[in-house]
Amino acid sequence: MNISVFQFDIIWENPVANRAKIDDWLEKISRKSDVIFLPEMFTTGFSMNVAELAEAMDGETIRWMKQSSADHHCALSGSLIIREGDRFFNRLLFVQPSGEIQFYDKRHLFTMANEESHFQRGTERLIVDYKGWRICPLICYDLRFPVWARNRNEYDILVYSANWPQARNEVWNTLLKARAIENQSYVVGANRVGVDGSLISYMGNSQLIDPKGHILASIGDHHKGVVSAGFSYTELMQFRNTFPVLNDADHFTIQD
What is the SS3 string spanning the chain?
CEEEEEECECCCCCHHHHHHHHHHHHHHCCCCCCEEECCCCCCCCCCCCHHHHCECCCCHHHHHHHHHHHHHCCEEEEEEEEEECCEEEEEEEEECCCCCEEEEECCCCCHHHCHHHCCCCCCCCCCEEECCEEEEEEEHHHHHCHHHHCCCCCCCEEEEECCCCHHHHHHHHHHHHHHHHHHCCEEEEECCEEECCCCCEEEECCEEECCCCCEEEECCECCCEEEEEECCHHHHHHHHHHCCHHHHCCCCCCCC
Give the dihedral sign, CA 139/142/147/148. Answer: negative
CB atoms within 10 A of CB 226: 20
Give the pLDDT means over successive 10-residue stretches in the chain (256 positions). Answer: 97 98 90 94 98 97 97 97 97 98 98 97 97 98 97 96 98 98 98 98 98 96 94 98 93 80
Of 103, 107, 73, the C-alpha closest to 91 is: 103
| Domains in the chain: boundaries | 2-246
Separation of alpha carbons 183 and 205, rounded Å:
21
Active-site residue set:
40, 106, 140
Separation of alpha carbons 236 and 252, rounded Å:
24
CATH class of 2-246: alpha beta
Separation of alpha carbons 133 and 1, rounded Å:
8
pTM of this prediction?
Answer: 0.97
Q: What is the pLDDT of residues 83-122, one digit of tens each?
A: 999 999 999 999 999 999 999 999 999 999 999 999 999 9
Q: What is the pLDDT of residues 118-136, one digit of tens each?
A: 999 999 999 999 999 999 9
